[in-house]
Amino acid sequence: MAPFQGELTVGSGVDARQVAFLRREGEGPEIFFLGGFMSDMRGAKAEALDAFAERTGRAMIRFDYSGHGQSGGNVEDGTISRWLEEAATVLGDVAKGPQILVGSSMGGWIAVLLALADARAQGGRIAGLVLLAPAIDMTQDLILPHMSAEARAELETTGRWRLPSAYSERPYVITKRLIEDGKRHLLGGGPIAIGAPVHIIQGVLDEEVPWSHAVDLVSHLAQDDVVLTLIKDAGHRLSRPEDLDKMLSAVATIA
């Protein structure tokens, strides 16, 4: 049976945007998928998770950030704050019961932010996290250090920088607004206490999120049960059948 497709309005006034989601009914803990920057809820990892949920009778939810996939809005208006608000709204209004947060790349950062917010509120909804090449603090640690002087000048002058992408014919547009807003959500300065098990899957050949970045994240998750799986021949996408199998196994162990 196909998952239910719906839309939510997030924000109000000029900040209002329509966020599309897909939800499959089933048993819990529910799988909540958070995609990466410039990806969508119908990518290989999301589809593999949905097929797994259908086979095993599990509930699952996935959505598109504003400016991505089937959701409304312009990606250049996007910030970590806006996309986090959208994720939190879907979690609060659509998701049911305990959640396994599966975050890919930027979605890994947002998943950790969601889990920390739940821990602070003592919500008890997060059963565990599966993080795929998590781009924690990506605006500060992964984008800015790789910008040339010319790129930084373009960002300051025009408010945007066009980053060539290995995954799209069109460059990714990095905005000054995205970079500045990211400072509000940086996690690298101290311990991260989620209160739930975490499984990180990371490719050693990843050029976007170095494997050392995942090792550093483990050091900050000192209070939680953490498993780090390094795949020596994998890059950033982690979408090969063998990579997807590792993701599904990690989800199954949390359940």
Q: Which residues are tagged catalytic?
A: 105, 206, 236
Helices and strands per DSSP (H, E), number in the chain: 8, 10
Show the tokens assigned to 178.
Answer: 């995205």
Sign of CA dihedral 6, 2, 75, 120: positive
- Residues 33, 41 contacting (CB under 8 angstroms): yes
Both structure tokens of 190? 């101290």
Both tokens of 114, joined, read 């969601």
Sign, CA torsion 8/9/15/20: positive
Q: Residues 24, 30, 31, 35: what is their CA dihedral angle, to the nearest 10 degrees?
A: 80
Q: How far lies 163's CA from each of 109, 167, 170, 174, 238, in Å?
A: 20, 11, 9, 7, 21
Can you tell me the distance from the alpha carbon of 32 to that of 103, in angstroms, rounded to the nearest whole number?
A: 8
